[in-house]
Amino acid sequence: MSFFTLPYIVRSIGAAIAQIKPSYEEAAITLGAYPFILFRSISLPLFRDGVINGSILAFTRSLSETGATMMVAGLASTAPILVVELKNAGQLPQAMGASIVLIVGAILVLFLAKAMLGQKVISLEKVYPRFEKQLTKLVIPRNILLALFFIFILFLPTVFIIFYSIGNWDMQISSIVIKSMAISFFIALIVTICNLIFALPLAYMIARSRNRLGKLFDTLNEIVLLVPTSALGLSLVFFWQKFLSFEYIILILTHLSFSFPLLLKPLVATFRDIPLSLEEAAYSLGAKSWQVLRTILLPLIMPAIIAGSIMAFMRSLSETGATLAVSDKIQTIPVLIVGLVKQGQYSQAAFISTILFVIALFFLFLLKHFTYRKK
C-alpha cells in the first residue's frame, strides 16, 4: 500500500519545504541549533501543513484504491471492492450503504485534518543539547535506510513487471486489448479536455476571490478528491441513471469528477502565484480582458495546465474502482488487467501492464520537462 501513497506525501511535503525560506533554517543554525533540533523546532512546524495535506491525500488514496487491492488481496476485500462486488451482485441497497460510509468517512477525515492545520504545536521546553547533537551522527544510517526503502518498496517492484514481461513474452494483441486501449484513451482524452474547459475559469475565480465563495469551492474540490472513487462512481450512477441510460456518458462524467480536482489544484496554486499587478499593468497599457488572458495569464500558467492535464489524464487512464462501479461491461485497460489476473493469464496481463507502464513513463518525462522549464 505504501507503494502508491508515498509519492503523495513526498510531493506535498516537498512543495511545503520548497516554500520555507532557507534563511529561517540559517537563522536557527547561527543561533546554535544542531540539525535534529533545527528540524523539530523550525522545519517541521513550518512544513507541518504540507505533512497534513499529504497525509490526507495518501490516506484517502489508500482508502479508495480498488484495482491494486483486487489484484493483491484475494481474500481481504476492502470497502471499495465490497462496493463493486455488491453492485455486481445486484445488492444495490448494501452497495449504497457501503458507499455512504466511505463518503462520510472521507469527509470526516478531511475536517479532522483541517482542524489540525494552523494549530500551534511546538515544544521547545525540553531540549537535550548533548543528546540531540549526537543524533546528528545518524545521518548516514538514515540515508541508507531511506535508499533501501526507496529501492525495495517503491522502485524495484514497480519496474519488475517489465522483467517479468520479458521473461514471459506474450505479445498477443487481441482485438479486446486494442478495444480496451481505445476506450481508455478516448475516455481519458475527453475527460481531460472537458476538465480543462471548466477548470481554467474556476481556478481563476478561486485564486482571485477574496470572499468565502472561493474558499467554499476549494473545500468542495477537496471533498471530491477525498471520496473513494468506487463510492463516487456508484453515487454518480444513481444520480445520472434517471436522466441518462448510456453507460459511456456516465463513465465519462464519473471520470470527470474524480480527475477534476487533480487539474484544478495546480491551476489555483499557479494563478495565486501570478501577482495581480501583472494583470493591472496589462490593463493600464490598454489590453482588453481577452488580451490579458491570451498574452499574460495563459503563457504564465501553461506549465500548470500541462502538468495538471497529464495528472488528470493518467488518473483517468489508471482508474479501476469507479469504472467497475459504473459498469460491468465497459472494459478499460485497468479493468482488463484485473480481469486477466483473475483468470490466471499472468503473462498477457504483464504485457499489457508493461505497455501502460511505458506510456506512464513517457508522460512522466513530459511532466518533468514542463514543470522544470518553468524555473
| Cα-based distances in Å from 296 to 3, 124, 281, 299, 308 | 40, 46, 10, 6, 19
For another protein, the binding residue among 7, 45, 105, 214 (CB under 8 A) is: 45
194 interacts with another protein by CB under 8 A: no
How far apart are the C-alpha atoms of 96 and 347, rounded to whole Å? 36
In whole angstroms, how close is the CB of 111 to another protein at the nearest point? 23
Query: Of the listed pieces 33-41, 65-73, 85-93, 365-373, which binds another protein according to CB under 8 A?
Result: 33-41
Query: Of the listed pieces 19-27, 317-325, 337-345, 346-354, which binds another protein according to CB under 8 A?
Result: 19-27
Q: Which is nearer to another protein, 43 or 219 (CB)?
A: 43
In whole angstroms, how close is the CB of 18 to another protein at the nearest point? 16
CB 232 within 8 A of CB 258: yes
Query: Of the listed pieces 36-44, 146-154, 246-254, 261-269, which binds another protein according to CB under 8 A?
Result: 36-44
32 interacts with another protein by CB under 8 A: yes
For another protein, the binding residue among 17, 27, 298, 358 (CB under 8 A) is: 27
Query: Of the listed pieces 7-15, 126-134, 162-170, 179-187, which binds another protein according to CB under 8 A?
Result: 126-134
Strands (E) located in the chain: none
For another protein, the binding residue among 13, 37, 83, 103 (CB under 8 A) is: 37
CB 64 within 8 A of CB 254: no
- At residue 339, the 3 state secondary structure works out as helix
139 interacts with another protein by CB under 8 A: no
- At residue 351, the 3 state secondary structure works out as helix
Q: Which is nearer to another protein, 42 or 237 (CB)?
A: 42
In whole angstroms, how close is the CB of 266 to another protein at the nearest point? 25
For another protein, the binding residue among 6, 7, 15, 34 (CB under 8 A) is: 34
42 interacts with another protein by CB under 8 A: yes
52 interacts with another protein by CB under 8 A: no
49 interacts with another protein by CB under 8 A: no
How far apart are the C-alpha atoms of 3 and 375, rounded to whole Å? 29
43 interacts with another protein by CB under 8 A: no
Can you say whether the dihedral through the CA atoms of 327, 329, 334, 340 is positive or negative?
positive
How far apart are the C-alpha atoms of 79 and 81, rounded to whole Å? 5
140 interacts with another protein by CB under 8 A: no
- At residue 164, the 3 state secondary structure works out as helix
How far apart are the C-alpha atoms of 192 and 206, rounded to whole Å? 20
Q: Which is nearer to another protein, 32 or 286 (CB)?
A: 32
23 interacts with another protein by CB under 8 A: yes
How far apart are the C-alpha atoms of 181 and 165, rounded to whole Å? 18
In whole angstroms, how close is the CB of 31 to another protein at the nearest point? 4
Cell of 183: 476506450
Q: Which is nearer to another protein, 4 or 39 (CB)?
A: 39
126-131 LR contacts (CB < 8 Å, sep 24+): 127/37, 129/34, 129/37
The helix-helix angle for 79-88 and 92-116 (nearest 10°) equals 160
**CB count in 10 Å sphere of residue 298:** 12
- At residue 182, the 3 state secondary structure works out as helix
- At residue 288, the 3 state secondary structure works out as coil
129 interacts with another protein by CB under 8 A: yes
For another protein, the binding residue among 4, 41, 240, 360 (CB under 8 A) is: 41
Question: Total residues at the site for another protein (CB under 8 A)?
Answer: 24
Can you say whether the dihedral through the CA atoms of 234, 236, 239, 245 is positive or negative?
negative
Residues making contact with another protein (CB under 8 A):
21, 23-24, 26-34, 37, 41-42, 45-46, 120, 122, 124, 127-130
